[in-house]
Structure 1
Amino acid sequence: MEINGRVVRQDESLAVVGLLAGWGMLPLEVAASLKARGARIVCAALKGHADTKLADLCDHYRVFGIARLGAQIRFFRRYGVRHATMAGKVFKAQLMYHRWGWLHYLPDWRCVRAFYPYFVTGSRDRKDDSLLGAVVNEFAKDGIMFQPATDLVPELLLAEGHWAGPPLTAAQIRDIAFGWQIAKELGRLDIGQSVAVKGQSCLAVEAIEGTDACIRRAGELCAQGGFVVVKVAKPQQDMRFDVPTIGLGTLETMRQAGATVLAVEADRTIIVERTRVLKRARQWGIRLVAVHHGDASQLRPAPKRLSA
């Protein structure tokens, strides 16, 4: 089967795919690509997060409260889901630090049991990998195995290259190499994925607030603009969840904040709305480069441009 110029192989075991959908355009792109491959899609859409347009793309669609874990599992089982994937953002700060705590989301009994050590006794940490790992482990108890969205839809990943914008300057190359080391250490500690750098000085690092807020904070601190944003996968990245993702929102935030370079990790970063992102980056003069782990310091000015 050929999709978007790529030959893809349909796995008969993935004839039915469960989609646990969060916020953003990514769930829509995943659903559309799976549909084009002939898969039947069973979508559990997270309330207050997922786009309602998913209902038109999916064979079975239902909205669930984010803490209705048992209900989500039963929904998948009802329609024969054995393979599932996650796509889209969950607003972790809202979930964890709401005025009334996580009980505001009316967790069902399955959710209470799964997350009791995280939210009640505090015997386990609340890092992204810990919480999302608990989710997939709970589904696995009922025979539902989560797979990376990028395994099912590999064209989501951005390959190595200089994708948009003018050639990099020597100073920008140094800033990418500098920021890369910091971002990788942030990832190793499961704190965040992104850093903003200028003149080999760190302006801002990402934590629970997310990449866009990190970029905006850097813009407030660096009124002259012209800074570099580096976004990478964790050294221990589980590609089933929390994969680095960029989209139009990322570029718009960079433009408003005055950032001029976005460097991401090649083949481990998802690009949403690829064609529109590359068009806007070129229009706005934002340099977009993707490099492999450890290769950032080897970049040279004016690398070969790649077409979309």
Structure 2
Amino acid sequence: MNRADTGLEPRLALIAGNGSLPCQIAEALDSAGREFRIIAIKGEADERTRAQADTELGWGEIGRLYKFLKKTGCRDVLLIGGVSKRPDFTSILGDLGTLKRLPTIIRALAGGDDSLLTKVIRLFEVEGYRVVGIKDVAPQLLASSGVLGKIQPNQGDWRDAELALRATEKLGELDIGQAAIAVGGRVVALEGAEGTDAMLQRCAELKRIGRIRSKGRAGVLVKTAKPNQDLRVDLPTVGPMTIDLAAAAGLAGIAVEASGALIAEKEETLKKADNAGLFVIGIEHGTRFGVTSKGQADERS
């Protein structure tokens, strides 16, 4: 990997969890000529990420992490990829750098209603690092506005998209979830702590037992960011698995927030959606749709 230094931007530390996103981001950074270093999270990063990583560190090795950042001259930090395991801080006892910072770590992580991710950001910021998001380094990976694949929504689809969008806005106000599903002018599922995938599986079961009735493919999954959500570390994401589950649930398509949601493995995701006969669209928060007599949707905010 080139990772050539253009001298235009600070060197970036890519702290990588599981999934394919870390490698996608690395490829985008490399193409842009942005110099970076990959830090794989031990027990989380997959084989491909570990093969490209400059180092691999466990959860408790905060002192070693800061030492690596200082040694490599990284000033910007990007946290990317999933975390499936509960952090194991047992290794903290062997990391003198972590012990030295323990009072600062405790102050950053304790108290308040902030999410864990927000507190992790604070840990970096108190050390003088800048935490960035995908929008800052690889905005081309975010969803754009409009129809993104080959399948076009119909009148009913646009109405369902608007209804589900309104539902996600209410969910966001209550800080509950990021996604909702509307079918035939009725909201049939709201995302809770179980996440989007489990909600789609629940929707498929409801359709199987006849609680959701529709002719052919119908209904729209809408996924957007919550108000004041920190998009640097908590970006709404859809990918190939989302398409599979939406197809299994009998939905007509998916709508995501333009410039505020990530389409993982974008080319594969859109190709899979086209093959399954599902549309994928990017929409704006607060958008309302009017439908013309020709069946085309006009956006109005």
TM-score by length of 2: 0.81
Q: What does residue 124 of structure 1 align with?
A: 112
Is 1:297 paired with 2:297? no
Q: What does residue 13 of structure 1 align with?
A: 9
Distance 1:67 1:298 in 2: 53
CA contact (8 A) 1:176 1:296 kept: no
Q: Which residue type is aligned with residue 294 of structure 1?
A: G
Q: CA deviation at 1:182?
A: 1.6
- Larger Rg, first or second structure (1 or 2): 2
Decide whether aligned partners of structure 1 residues 256 and 73 sit closer, same or farther in structure 2, where only a CA change above 3 A counts.
Answer: farther
Distance 2:178 2:220 in 1: 14
Q: What does residue 172 of structure 1 align with?
A: 157
Q: How many residues align?
A: 278
Pick from 120, 123, 129: which aligns with 1:138? Answer: 123
Distance 1:194 1:114 in 2: 36
Flag structure 2 segments of 5+ consecutive residues without an equivalent: 1-5, 93-97
Residues 199-222 of structure 1, C-alpha deviations (whole Å, 9 max, x = no match):
333322223332111111111122
Q: CA deviation at 1:45?
A: 1.6
Q: CA deviation at 1:281?
A: 0.8
Distance 1:24 1:288 in 2: 22
CA RMSD across the alignment:
2.8
Q: What does residue 200 of structure 2 align with?
A: 215
Q: What does residue 156 of structure 1 align with?
A: 141
Distance 1:64 1:298 in 2: 52
Q: Which residue type is aligned with residue 192 of structure 2?
A: A
CA contact (8 A) 1:20 1:44 kept: yes
Flag structure 1 segments of 5+ consecutive residues without an equivalent: 1-9, 96-101
Decide whether aligned partners of structure 1 residues 165 and 131 sit closer, same or farther in structure 2, where only a CA change above 3 A counts.
Answer: same
Q: CA deviation at 1:299?
A: 6.4
Q: Which residue type is aligned with residue 71 of structure 1?
A: R
Q: What does residue 95 of structure 2 align with?
A: none
Distance 1:206 1:57 in 2: 35
Query: Identity percentage over the alignment?
Result: 29
Alignment of 1:45-84 (within 5 A): 45-58=40-53, 60=54, 62-84=55-77
CA contact (8 A) 2:223 2:257 kept: yes
Distance 1:172 1:298 in 2: 12
CA contact (8 A) 1:69 1:107 kept: no
TM-score by length of 1: 0.79
Other structure's SS at 1:243 match: coil
Other structure's SS at 2:78 match: strand
Distance 2:169 2:184 in 1: 19
Distance 2:162 2:19 in 1: 30
Q: What does residue 106 of structure 1 align with?
A: 90
Decide whether aligned partners of structure 1 residues 79 and 192 sit closer, same or farther in structure 2, where only a CA change above 3 A counts.
Answer: same
Q: What does residue 179 of structure 2 align with?
A: 194
Distance 2:153 2:40 in 1: 41
Decide whether aligned partners of structure 1 residues 114 and 214 sit closer, same or farther in structure 2, where only a CA change above 3 A counts.
Answer: farther
